[in-house]
Amino acid sequence: MQNENFQDVTPLERHGFLRALLRAVSTPLVAVILGILLGSVIIEVSGYNAIAAYVSLFQGAFGSGYSIANTLANAVPLILAGLGVAVGFRAGLFNIGAEGQYWMGAIAAVWVGYAVNLPWYLHIPLALAAAAVAGALWGGIVPGLAKAYAGAHEVITTMMMSYVAIFFSHYLLENGPMMEPGYVPQSPVIRSSAFLPVLVKGTQLSAGIFVALAAVAVVYWVLYYTTWGFEIRALGLNRRAARYGGMPVQRNIVLALAVSGLLAGLAGAAQMMGVQHRLYDSFSSGYGYTAIVVALLAKNDPIGVVFSALLFAALGTGAQYMQIGANVPGRMTDVITGLIVFFVAAERMVELASRWLAKRRQQRRSQAGRPGVGPAQGRGAELESKGAGV
């Protein structure tokens, strides 16, 4: 994606940019299509009608204004947390603990939301900022410092910090300082001055979507147009060259993980302030883990994250409708998600498959190129080489 900075050079290069874009998008697209195809096989084998399932899945996600709004609402935390994971990846860091950073952000936003009394135009920014700081500290300060100065692997530290965050929320809510008086382990409702306004009545779609899209724009700009973004991309692609180039590698490891956590923390805040309005006691929101998948499918591109988050959000909202409409268990969407992840991760496999196809085509062409050889014989050659391959 670096090429867009040069897209106005010559028409030829613009063409090259388009081709690069197509190449960038092709693998995720192929993965999604393969996931859906193989998913339909599994649905059929399980005794359901795959077409009916996909139709109702689609209707559930995009069939009406309400469902579209709910899909968008579902995408908000996925965009933010996915963006966070993507920033980490861009710096070559595997932030697997977005879930914990999401929780810390949620806790901070909810606490500011009910414990502080301010007009909305101060309350909302303050709650968001608190969540951002909480997420950044959770992602950047502990795992980042440990990675940069002690060599502790961020996969371990972010994951462990994630557990700490989740158990911390249990402590706060189960007879702890944030529990609402009564017997239910949940926090008080935040003040309405900290509510992100609902955009479509009767749905969960709130102004959180603007927070998410603004974050995408900012991250995109920082990555591609600032010196710090340049450092982060260099760090992720070749740490030794970054050091050779005189960049502050250690400091950037900490900062990249902090920004990664900051965005996941914002995801928690957007969900609390726009949808839930209070913190419930639970083991997982699931957003932090799906965020990793979102970033993977998006190939860590900020714009790609939006589309990839929308896809997984649609699978989420469509699932309930599919259960009711086509009588297919909603969990089937998890199977499809899993398959997509598999095919994204197996990028090399997709590559190999397409190369194999190209070779096959070429062989057929060179066979067909000889005078008097028809397509039938071309197919014969194909069978022959298949036999040889076994």
Where along the sequence are the contacts to other proteins (CB under 8 A)?
Answer: 2-3, 5-6, 9, 13, 16, 225-228, 230-231, 233-234, 237-238, 240-247, 362, 366, 388
Measured distance CA(96)–CA(290) in Å, rounded: 10
Pick between residue 21 and residue 159 the one whose CB is nearest to other proteins: 21
The nearest distance, CB 139 to other proteins, in angstroms, is 22
Pick between residue 3 and residue 49 the one whose CB is nearest to other proteins: 3
Residue showing tokens 């204004």: 65
Measured distance CA(157)–CA(330) in Å, rounded: 33
User: Measured between alpha carbons, how far is residue 70 from residues 74, 222, 313, 318, 371 in Å?
Assistant: 6, 30, 9, 10, 60
Pick between residue 369 and residue 372 the one whose CB is nearest to other proteins: 369
Pick between residue 104 and residue 235 the one whose CB is nearest to other proteins: 235
Residue pair 273/105 in contact by the 8 Å Cβ criterion: no
Pick between residue 209 and residue 258 the one whose CB is nearest to other proteins: 258
Pick between residue 3 and residue 377 the one whose CB is nearest to other proteins: 3
- By C-alpha distance, which of 356, 368, 318 is closest to 57? 318
Pick between residue 28 and residue 236 the one whose CB is nearest to other proteins: 236
Measured distance CA(276)–CA(288) in Å, rounded: 16
Measured distance CA(81)–CA(86) in Å, rounded: 9
- DSSP state, residue 341: H
Measured distance CA(333)–CA(4) in Å, rounded: 35
The nearest distance, CB 232 to other proteins, in angstroms, is 12
The nearest distance, CB 352 to other proteins, in angstroms, is 16
Measured distance CA(120)–CA(114) in Å, rounded: 12
Widest CA span in the chain:
88
The nearest distance, CB 359 to other proteins, in angstroms, is 8
Measured distance CA(231)–CA(244) in Å, rounded: 12
Measured distance CA(390)–CA(387) in Å, rounded: 6
The nearest distance, CB 17 to other proteins, in angstroms, is 8
Pick between residue 41 and residue 303 the one whose CB is nearest to other proteins: 303
Pick between residue 180 and residue 382 the one whose CB is nearest to other proteins: 382
The nearest distance, CB 33 to other proteins, in angstroms, is 24
Cα-based angle 64, 68, 70 (whole degrees, multiple of 5)? 115
The nearest distance, CB 126 to other proteins, in angstroms, is 26
Residue pair 110/237 in contact by the 8 Å Cβ criterion: no
Q: Is 280 helix (H, G, I), strand (E, B) or coil?
A: strand
The nearest distance, CB 114 to other proteins, in angstroms, is 37
Q: Which one-letter amino acid corresponds to residue 17?
A: F
**Tokens standing for residue 389:** 């391959």
The nearest distance, CB 366 to other proteins, in angstroms, is 7
**Tokens standing for residue 129:** 């900022």
The nearest distance, CB 189 to other proteins, in angstroms, is 41
- By C-alpha distance, which of 364, 362, 389, 369 is closest to 379? 364
Pick between residue 192 and residue 366 the one whose CB is nearest to other proteins: 366
Listed in sequence order, the DSSP H helices in 298-373 are 302-325, 332-345, 347-369
